[in-house]
Structure 1
Amino acid sequence: MNPLFDFTFPHKWQAEILPARPAILPARHLVYPRQAEEIERGALEVLARTDEPNASPFLATCALGFRDPVVPTGIWSTPNPHEMCAVAGGYAYIIDTVTPEHFTMLPYRPVLQVRSAPAQELLLFVGHRAILAWGANGRAWETAKLSDEGVTINGLEGGLLRGMGWNMMTDKETPFTLDMRSGSLVA
């Protein structure tokens, strides 16, 4: 597992991926999701510190989705400077670093790619069939189905996202273009 790091967006926290859970846990230890059977398969252990005064560090134990190298694992900054995105084997968690009890586990299992779109202030999550965009205030939009199995982003430019999706009926890769403000298909 080679973790990825993307700190494109300004953030008010620091984080490091630990090679294993520490023998002595910090006072604040949170498991994501709260009651995770997946923890038995493994976890991403992230030691995080917020820049808030007098805040103590916390250990985020993020349940691992898959051990396949095709799915991402790592840490991303988000458009909200207090939120951290941790991805563990394709399971994506948005964690509020000021109150880490507050988190969102994204519905894609797995997330196949995470992509920063700084011009639009979005963090993009690519699944098998659609794309979900996360903004400073949370979920910004989610596309309709773009593919029967496999979405590829080819480029982000001028407020447009260009990509490809496989169409089962034609057995062909089909291009698509999205408006990055809404996630809608552009005709």
Structure 2
Amino acid sequence: MDSDGSRRFHSFGFEPNYTVEVDPPFPSDGIWDCPIVEFDANGVAHPRTALDARGSLIVRVEPSVRQTWLGVFANGGLGRVDETFAGPAPEQLCVVAEGTAYLVNVDSPITDPAIVQDQVQHVAADAEHHLLLLANDVDLVAVGASGLAWRSPRLALDGLSISGADSEGIHCYAWLGDHDGATHLVTLDPRTGQIMAGPVLPD
């Protein structure tokens, strides 16, 4: 899917153990009733007592068994996707802030968050293999229940998109430099991210 600018939360059929409110309304007195966690452009989480929302995507996260918290995610600025997604594991949250994809454990957001992809242009899910897929213009990463599962080799010179996933693999369209703008179908192994079928870019 491509982002339509609405900054919604998408579960993709996964079963999160939390609820998310994207762009929550600011309290009239400026005081939030939950802890604030800021995620910087390097993926490092910092507890905050005050909120600076400039250049950020803000989400309010209510885990089923832990304290509610407010996440402030620095915008990447180089990707089309600006939305939030459930991960394959119930405690995983993936926030894509203007292309920068942060993977967070909602029960312990300060512990080991990670930036798993940059310049994200397209997001999809492989339900059969329980993977969240994040593509930029040239490669693709898969998030599994244990975190980042794999990163594909470079698949395109530009314009990579995810067509879908089925029992035969993960299917993408890649532009390989054709002057007429034609794209080529490339199929990846969902276990490794390696190319199973389709053209391979030279080293």
Name the TM-score, length of structure 1 as normaliser. Answer: 0.86
Matches of 2:54 and 2:32 in 1, distance apart?
20
Any gaps of 5 or more consecutive residues in structure 1?
none
**What residue identity is the alignment partner of 2:63?**
T
- Displacement after TM superposition at 1:35 (Å): 7.7
Question: Residue 161 of structure 1 corresponds to which residue in structure 2?
Answer: 170
When you count helix as a share of all residues, which structure comes out higher? 1
Matches of 1:160 and 1:106 in 2, distance apart?
21
Question: Residue 18 of structure 1 corresponds to which residue in structure 2?
Answer: 23
Rate the CA distance shift 1:47–1:183 in 2: closer, same or farther, 3 A: same
Question: Residue 173 of structure 1 corresponds to which residue in structure 2?
Answer: 183
- Displacement after TM superposition at 1:152 (Å): 1.4
Q: Deviations over 1:26-60 (max 9, x none)?
A: 44111112489xx77521110001111xx221000
Question: Residue 147 of structure 2 corresponds to which residue in structure 1?
Answer: 138
> Percent identity over the alignment?
25
- Displacement after TM superposition at 1:119 (Å): 0.9
Give 1:4's match in structure 2, choosing from 8, 13, 17: 8
1:134–1:141 contact (8 Å) kept in structure 2: yes
1:159–1:181 contact (8 Å) kept in structure 2: no
Indicate whether 1:49 and 2:58 are aligned: no
Rate the CA distance shift 1:17–1:4 in 2: closer, same or farther, 3 A: closer
Runs of 4+ in 1 over 4 A off after TM superposition: 19-22
- Displacement after TM superposition at 1:97 (Å): 0.6
For 1:93, what is the secondary structure of its paired residue? strand
1:72–1:113 contact (8 Å) kept in structure 2: yes
For 1:120, what is the secondary structure of its paired residue? coil
Question: Residue 114 of structure 2 corresponds to which residue in structure 1?
Answer: 104
- Displacement after TM superposition at 1:11 (Å): 1.1
Equivalent positions of 1:20-169 (< 5 A) are 21-22=26-27, 23-33=30-40, 34=44, 42-52=55-65, 55-66=66-77, 71-102=80-111, 103-108=113-118, 110-168=119-177
- Displacement after TM superposition at 1:92 (Å): 1.1
- Displacement after TM superposition at 1:114 (Å): 1.3
Name the TM-score, length of structure 2 as normaliser. Answer: 0.80
Matches of 1:2 and 1:89 in 2, distance apart?
12
Rate the CA distance shift 1:24–1:41 in 2: closer, same or farther, 3 A: closer
- Displacement after TM superposition at 1:142 (Å): 0.9
Q: Deviations over 1:47-105 (max 9, x none)?
A: 001111xx221000011222x8x711222110111111111111111111110102111
**What residue identity is the alignment partner of 2:35?**
R
Matches of 1:107 and 1:130 in 2, distance apart?
9
- Displacement after TM superposition at 1:4 (Å): 3.2
Rate the CA distance shift 1:21–1:86 in 2: closer, same or farther, 3 A: farther
For 1:186, what is the secondary structure of its paired residue? strand
Any gaps of 5 or more consecutive residues in structure 2?
47-51, 198-203
Alignment size in residue pairs: 179
